[in-house]
Amino acid sequence: MTSTRVVVLGDVMLDVVVQPTGRLAPTSDSSANILVARGGSGANVAIALRATGHHVDFVGASGRDAAGLVFVDALERGRVNARLQLCEAPTGTVVAIIADDGQRAMLTDSGANVRLEDSFVVEQLREPFDHIHVSGYLLLRASTRGIGENVLALARSRGIPSSVDVCSVAPLMAITPGVFLHSARDASMLFANDEEACALTDSENAGDALEVLARSYEEVVVTRGEFGAIAALGALRFTENALPVEVLDTTGAGDAATGTYLGARLNGEEPPEALARAMAAAAQVVGGLGALG
């Protein structure tokens, strides 16, 4: 195993995960299981990456508030170095409402994330790094899209590999797939779930979407929930089944798979081994409430 420095650029978020335990009473109280914890897709990836043995720096923007402190404390406990721009705005918050089948709908307030500055990010990249991962949320949001594009272009100009995770299909369709693909054009790796991959390529299934995306990226991974994951590396194709586990909440499962796969590949493992590790990591997360499993 070779330890490398990986920089993850993403959103600083507080998660409020709500799992109703009965029928909702529109004008009264309803019972629920509620978890408040560190959130953020990029942070989930960073934690999973660190678990594979790499040195990981997380770069983002936070408010000067308790939510920001919760985020930093969680990263420190995960042995991830937090490099945060502190802003006069509340830390981002997402409320995830969990359905009976473990799927979730999310209500998001980006908060301080929209104030992330290009100059701050560039300063964090002055030290040598071996890989940079950009959360798709930066490319999905107009205020930070240019920052993500610049970082990916910088990595390519230095001959350093990079990766992007699409992250969310609704904002993807709002900005249009063409805008996202243009913004992510300098990435060498792309991660998406099956819904996002099909939306990006106007394909009817994940397999067809993988073929289209493989024409633009050196390596592509498409996660498929209970059906596992598929990947492309050049002309090679790989498939891995999901582990048969009871699903309580899918929040963060794709992020865990992304970070674990990426970490394994940076360790020199081949895609089949990396996919197997990714599916094991996702299975751990779906068994519990919230992104920590």
pLDDT, tens digit, 9 for 90 and up, residues 192-232: 999 999 999 999 999 999 999 999 999 999 999 889 999 99
Average confidence score pLDDT of the chain: 92
Given a cut of 70, whether residue 274 has pLDDT beyond it is: yes
Report yes or no on 104 lying in a domain.
yes
Given a cut of 80, whether residue 249 has pLDDT beyond it is: no
The CB-side HSE value for 36 (13 A sphere, CA atoms) comes to 6
Report yes or no on 36 lying in a domain.
yes
Q: What 3-state class would DSSP assign to 219?
A: strand
Report yes or no on 293 lying in a domain.
no
Residues 6+ apart with CB under 8 A from 194: 205, 206, 209, 222, 223, 224, 225, 227
Specify whether the backbone of 233 is left (phi greater than 0), alpha (psi in -120 to 50) or beta: beta
Token pair in block for residue 186 = 């300098």
Give pLDDT tens digits for 48-95. 999 999 999 999 999 999 999 999 999 999 999 999 999 999 999 999
Residue-level pLDDT at 96: 85
| DSSP single-letter state for residue 249 | -
Asked if 191 and 166 count as a contact pair (C-beta separation under 8 A), the reply is yes
- Euclidean distance between CA atoms 85 and 118, whole angstroms: 11
What total number of domains does the chain contain?
A: 1
More confident residue, 291 or 260: 260
Report yes or no on 1 lying in a domain.
no
47: CATH: 3.40.1190.20
Whole-model pTM?
A: 0.91
Top mean pLDDT of 2-11, 96-105, 191-200 is at 191-200
User: Which of 5-19, 27-41, 186-200, 271-285 is least confident?
Assistant: 27-41
The percentage of residues in the chain with a pLDDT greater than 70, rounded to a whole number, is: 95
Residue range of the domain that includes 241 = 7-286
Given a cut of 50, whether residue 293 has pLDDT beyond it is: no
Report yes or no on 97 lying in a domain.
yes
Asked if 42 and 137 count as a contact pair (C-beta separation under 8 A), the reply is yes
Q: Residue 162: which of 218, 78, 232 has the closest Cα?
A: 218
Residue-level pLDDT at 289: 57
Q: Residue 38: which of 7, 58, 68, 9 has the closest Cα?
A: 68
